[in-house]
């Protein structure tokens, strides 16, 4: 089975685990039948966290993926990221129709969020007013603090129920 990784470090780790059919994604990846995948720069924490010599290297590089196909809506699967300039630039560049956000609001005790939360969902919609947001990563690990219930309440408070989807475990969405 072919496995794609975001960088050579990930490929080396997977090779070490015994897998052999590995490819590292380039910034632009074009496949047959019109599918293209673009790698974006994401950041798994604040600029301050990344500048800290002790903590900065622990979170590693993060990337998002933009999927384009002439018959489909443009989709952006944001990686483990916070709302920083590289993320905003990716939204401006690609203008995706559907954005999957890790909105669990995972926290580092010293430096704050390492993935997005409910406010970042609203910020994303302010940058892409017609986009559909799919929220994921809520309460998936012990430091993900945002719950689906809290995000549903936030969604109602801001009148964005029609644009922000909060799928149940195992639910499938089609756009």
User: What is the pLDDT, as a whole number, of residue 46?
Assistant: 84
User: What is the pLDDT, as a whole number, of residue 151?
Assistant: 96
- Ordered DSSP codes for 83-115: S-HHHHHHHHHH--SEEEEE-S-BEETTTEESS
Strands 3-5 and 98-102: unpaired
Q: What is the pLDDT of residues 45-69, one digit of tens each?
A: 888 887 876 776 777 778 999 999 9
User: What is the pLDDT, as a whole number, of residue 58?
Assistant: 72
**Which of 150-157's residues contact partners 24+ apart within 8 Å by CB, and which partners?**
150/118, 151/103, 151/118, 151/121, 154/118, 154/121, 154/122, 155/121
pTM, two decimals, is 0.91
The segments of the chain whose pLDDT lies below 70 read 53, 56
Triad 37, 41, 43: Cα angle to 5°:
135
Dist CA 96 CA 128 (whole Å): 8
CA distances, 68 to each of 3, 72, 110, 125, 165 (Å): 20, 7, 38, 20, 21
């Amino acid at each position: 089975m072919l496995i794609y990784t975001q960088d050579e470090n990930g490929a080396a780790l997977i090779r070490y685990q015994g897998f052999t059919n590995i490819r590292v994604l380039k910034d632009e990846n074009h496949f047959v039948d019109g599918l293209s995948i673009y790698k974006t720069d994401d950041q798994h924490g604040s600029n301050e966290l990344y500048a800290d010599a002790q903590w900065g290297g622990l979170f590693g590089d993060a990337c998002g993926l933009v999927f384009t196909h002439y018959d489909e809506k443009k989709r952006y699967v944001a990686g483990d990221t916070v709302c920083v300039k590289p993320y905003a630039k990716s939204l401006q560049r690609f203008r995706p129709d559907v954005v999957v956000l890790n909105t669990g609001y995972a926290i580092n005790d010293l430096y704050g969020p390492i993935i997005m939360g409910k406010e970042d969902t609203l910020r994303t919609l302010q940058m892409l007013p017609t986009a559909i947001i799919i929220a994921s990563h809520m309460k998936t690990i012990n430091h993900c603090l945002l719950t689906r219930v809290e995000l549903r309440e936030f969604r109602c408070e801001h009148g964005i129920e029609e644009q922000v989807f909060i799928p149940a475990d195992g639910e499938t969405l089609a756009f």
